[in-house]
Structure 1
Amino acid sequence: MHNQTCFLLYYNKYGDNDAFLHCFSAEEGYRSFFVKGIYSSKNKKKPYLFPLNLLNISVVKKGSSQSVSTISKLELAAEFYDFNDVKTNSILFFTAEFLHQILRNEDQNHQSFSAIYDFREEIKSNNFDAHIELLFRFLKISGIAPLYNQKKYLDPESGTFHEEISNAVFNDEISDIWKSFLENEHLKIHLKKTQRNDVLDSLMVYYHLHFTGFYIPNSLAVLRQIFE
């Protein structure tokens, strides 16, 4: 028996009652699991399948670390939080979709796991900028953060600051916000309603340029509508 503590990033139904779970675990990083009967009428654990729930998973180890293992036991690893707030749910869905992209090839990484854990704690406190803070934090974890200097505008393509603007998304206001995060990755900010989407736009542009294969999460459109 092999036990893992995992954040659920994504899941897809298989057949009538089963599912594949795609998770990021503290012990092994990104892993996929097969769970039987989770959608059956008698199974009471279907509510566990919510983005970024922290799960305790027990499996019988088979083959290489890349093979899909079948779950023998599935439990919540922490107190279950039923997020009924539409804003919170939209943030969780977006963040899980984002993490599912950038962590797919990631092995054990305590920094990444801790960052997700901290994000969840912020969400519990109704920090509606927590996902933006997390995306900035993962720039450093992934090693693609811009190089900080005192010049005015961030050039997203080169990842450096210049005196002349090179991309309309990265105006002086957005560039200043980026500088604040680069100086302090644990910065807690309170963005204005008009800033939030602009900052997210800038992050999507930057990740697309610097993270191979990155695409804009489908759930971003819903997130935008919720916060408009």
Structure 2
Amino acid sequence: MAAITTKAIVFSAIKYGDTSLIVKCFTLEEGVKTYMIKGVLKAKKGKLKAAYFQPLTQLLLTANHNNKGTLNSIREAQVSYLYETIHTSVIKQTIVLFIAEILSSIIQEEEKNESLFNYIETSLIWLDTHNSIANFHLLFLLNLSRYLGFYPDTSNQHGTAFNLLEGNFTLSTHEKSTVIGENFLLFKRLLGTNFDAIHTISFNKTERQIVLKIIIQYFELHLEGFKKPKSLDVLETVFS
């Protein structure tokens, strides 16, 4: 079994027994992989530390990938980008847990997806190095839809509503799953924005919740089996 060295982003870590973790990572080279890391919770020494496997930690792994649907193992790991503010900010920490939960539920493929990996990686570094981050999760999810193949079609600029099912602007405002009126205008403000312009969008608490609910509904309609994240309530509490 040949070892592979790859960048990886931790999606989740579940305790297994008293001392071990089952860790799900999104790797640059081979997509989603799940690892059994034995004894890591009691190890004082050793190459692997439990702290490496916090949600969305960026790692450089040397791992054995057996590709038989069984758990893989990690030989070595080191943090490839050390967050400076994410672990000290309650708001950033909450955003990270929320995003990790969503990514873990929707990204399942065991195949390389370099552009998606790079998007997640650079977005997290942006989050770590900026302060105006109240709308980060909204833009992160909306732009994530581009890599999942259902980013809104904004070509019909005259549309006065947004059809969540079709993913486009429309003039018919009475159909089911259509965002209209004030909510449509709020949602539209986010479209076409990048992270560096995010501070120009000022949503209040209520507006932010409205836009997030629209995006979650959009994901539910376009991703089979997508469930509303459990961490949504925590996120709303932190921003209230």
Q: TM-score, normalised by structure 2?
A: 0.85
Paired residues for 1:1-228 under 5 Å? 1-40=3-42, 42=44, 45-62=49-66, 64=67, 66-81=69-84, 83-105=87-109, 107-124=111-128, 125-126=130-131, 127-148=133-154, 149=156, 150-163=158-171, 164-166=173-175, 170-184=179-193, 188=198, 189-228=201-240
The worse-fitting range, judged by mean Cα deviation, of 107-116 and 166-175 is: 166-175
Q: Are residues 4 and 225 of structure 1, via their aligned partners in 2, closer, same or farther at CA, if it must alter by over 3 Å?
A: same
Give the C-alpha shift of residue 221 in structure 1. Answer: 0.8
Q: Are residues 75 and 91 of structure 1, via their aligned partners in 2, closer, same or farther at CA, if it must alter by over 3 Å?
A: same
Q: CA contact under 8 A between 2:162 and 2:178: conserved in structure 1? A: no
Give the Cα–Cα distance (whole angstroms) in 2 for the partners of residues 168 and 197 of structure 1.
Answer: 17
Q: Are residues 60 and 30 of structure 1, via their aligned partners in 2, closer, same or farther at CA, if it must alter by over 3 Å?
A: closer
Q: Are residues 85 and 165 of structure 1, via their aligned partners in 2, closer, same or farther at CA, if it must alter by over 3 Å?
A: farther
Q: CA contact under 8 A between 2:24 and 2:34: conserved in structure 1? A: yes
Give the Cα–Cα distance (whole angstroms) in 2 for the partners of residues 89 and 61 of structure 1.
Answer: 30
- Tell me the matched-pair count: 227
Give the C-alpha shift of residue 68 in structure 1. Answer: 2.0
Q: Are residues 146 and 78 of structure 1, via their aligned partners in 2, closer, same or farther at CA, if it must alter by over 3 Å?
A: closer
Q: Are residues 41 and 67 of structure 1, via their aligned partners in 2, closer, same or farther at CA, if it must alter by over 3 Å?
A: closer
Identify unmatched segments of 5+ residues in structure 2: none
Q: CA contact under 8 A between 1:115 and 1:137: conserved in structure 2? A: no
Identical aligned pairs, as a percentage? 25
Give the C-alpha shift of residue 185 in structure 1. Answer: 5.4
Give the Cα–Cα distance (whole angstroms) in 1 for the partners of residues 70 and 36 of structure 2.
Answer: 10
Give the Cα–Cα distance (whole angstroms) in 2 for the partners of residues 6 and 96 of structure 1.
Answer: 13
Paired residue secondary structure (1:183):
coil
Name the amino acid aligned to 2:90: V
